[in-house]
Structures are given as C-alpha cells and as structure tokens.
Amino acid sequence: MAKELTVKDLLDNTRLKIVAGEEYLDRKITTPDISRPGLEMTGYFNYYAPERIQLMGITETSFAHRMNHSELLLIARKMMQPNTPTFVVSTGRKLPEEFMQSAKENHIPVLATELTSSKILANMTYFLSGGLAERQSVHGVLVDIYGLGVLITGDSGVGKSETALELVQRGHRLIADDRVDVYAQDEERLVGEPPAILRNLMELRGVGIIDVMDLFGAGAVRSHATIAFNLHLAKWHDDQKVDRLGNGEEVITIQGVDLPRFVLPVQAGRNLAVLIETAAKNFRAKQMGFDATETFNNNLNSLIAENSK
C-alpha cells in the first residue's frame, strides 16, 4: 500500500510558493526522484525522465540566458510532458518566459523558493520519500516513550491499548492504536503513523472509542515517529522460557529493515507501563554504551577470578 501525492501536497509541506498554474495543483507525483535538467538544456534527451519533478537553479537558468528564443521554446516543449508533475525554481530565480509559456500550454504548475537548490532538493526528497513509500499495516500500538518510538504488539486482548493509555497518562505520546502503517524512511529507519481514519483515536474494551487529543491535550499525540524497537506482549505460561539477563534480543524484519524485538511476559500484578518505560530507558542506555548485562558479566567474571586464586 503506497500513498498518492499531488503537487498541492508538495506545496503544503515544503517551503515553496506558487508562481503559475494554481488550477493544476492536482497533478500526481509518482516518484520521489527529482531531476536537475542540465544536459537537457543542451538538447540531450536520451535519458530524460519526464515523470520526475524538474528542479532548476542558478546553473540552469543562467545557461538559459545564452540561448535564443526558438532554442528555449524547443527545449521547454520537450521537457513539458503529459506526466511531468511540476517545475520548481530555486534561489529566487525566474523561469525563462519560454518555459512559462510551455508550462501554461501543458497545464504544468510552476513553483518557486528562495532556498538554494541543495536545500529545497533535500526538503522535497525527505517529504516525497516518506509520502510515496510503500506502507505495511502492523497490528499493534505505537507510542513515543522518552523520544523513542516503541511498537507494542501482542495477541488480541492482551492489554496493548490499556497499557498505551496508562503510558499517555504518564506523559508519553500516542502515535497509533490498533493499526500502525509502517514504511522504510531509508535502509535503516522505520517510521510508523496512524491510518487517517484512526488518527488520535483509541479503542478501549468496555469504554468504547476515545479521542486522546480531546481528552489529554495536543501534547499527548504525535503524527508519526521513528520506530526504535518492537516490544511484544506475550501471555504468561509456567513453562515459558524468559530472557532474564537481557541478552536474548530478537530481530524482526519489516519492509526490509531489521528491528530489535523484545518479549515481555504478561502476568497479573505486573505493571506493564512501568516495565515498558524501563525497557525504553534501558534501550537508550545501551545505545549510549551503558549495558547492565555486560556490567553483570564483568562483575561475575571478576568474582570467579578472585575465588579461583
């Protein structure tokens, strides 16, 4: 499942302004790749990708000043294809009149910014990469705990939503309840967000559906978060093997990205919210180089060495 984006979405989420073609902002953007049409300005179109956003900066617009009217109009008409979403002009430059004419003829909007080409390129790529990425729906709850996105999964009825509610009451932030749409931001990062229909909502058995932002305020929710690890709630069994030292980390793969996974047994009397908070703190501590398991092992080895003398 992938999102569809339009030029209006791009305009609303980056530092761009409309120059011309406001009535054509519904044009579809199908790829996060962005072109800098340098060779095309010289007439070389062998590898031109018209489906990409075309970004023109100081180099391209300066080169255009060396061309005559007929050359510019010919190049512009070759670049303005039916599937070209938009032209973006950076660094406060203006698109040549021949390009503006051709854009109008082909119903292509023209956007502009005062930002440099490299900065607006980075902004657009970040937005488009996330917006057009393939989504995978995961059954679970995503909560921001101390700045870490914790994906809480488990069997139906194990208490995921109730635990998330207690975490919200303790000052943490809900991203998604029941279903999390996950996509790969890059080769190492997963981002989770709620489906539009479930945004800010939570279902509690016996209570019904609640609006978390309405009840707890805007600071209790987030629109998305990078997922740090998956914490799986498993119903307790007497014969269940439990990791007691914290060195039995598992890994699950979502969208081609490996995600650390920890299993937390659920038993009457265990305060899940406190345990999950502690798991998040411990994960952050390990990232910073403080590993309690390693400390325990070192202490144990030192004790063994002393007793063997």
* Residue 159 known to bind ligand: yes
Q: Tokens for 151?
A: 């994906």
Of 3, 290, 259, which Cα lies nearest the Cα of 142? Answer: 259
Does the annotation list 158 as a binding residue? yes
Q: Which residues contact 233 (CB under 8 A, 6 or more apart)?
A: 152, 153, 154, 155, 158, 159, 160, 163, 264, 266, 272
Active site residue 173: no
Beta pairing partners, 71: none
Is 157 annotated to bind a ligand? Reply is yes
Is 161 annotated for ligand binding? yes
User: What is the rounded distance in angstroms from the CA atom of residue 203 to the CA atom of residue 302?
Assistant: 51
Distances (CA, A) of 1 to 93, 137, 182, 183, 215: 38, 8, 10, 10, 31
Spacing of C-alpha 273 from chain mean position: 26
Is 150 within any annotated ligand binding site? no
Residue 137 contacts residue 1 (beta carbons within 8 Å) = yes
Nearest to 263 by CA among 229, 294, 228: 229
Task: Report the DSSP beta bridge partners of residue 129.
Answer: none
Q: Is 238 annotated as a binding residue?
A: no
Catalytic, out of 93, 135, 160, 173: 160
Q: Which of 173, 178, 181, 222 is catalytic?
A: 178
Report, in angstroms and rounded to the nearest whole number, the Rg of the chain calculated over CA atoms: 26
Does the annotation list 192 as a binding residue? no
Among residues 139, 237, 270, 281, which one is catalytic?
139
Q: Is 139 a catalytic residue?
A: yes
The rounded Cα 81 to chain-centroid distance in angstroms is 30
Q: What's phi and psi for 157, nearest 5 deg?
A: 85, 5
Using CA atoms, how far apart are residues 154 and 158, in angstroms rounded to an integer? 6
- H helices of 136-219, in order, are 160-169, 212-216
| Helical (H) or strand (E) element with 138 | strand 136-139
User: Residues comprising the binding site for ATP?
Assistant: 154-161
User: Residues comprising the binding site for Mg(2+)?
Assistant: 161, 203
| Active site (catalytic) residues | 139, 160, 178, 244
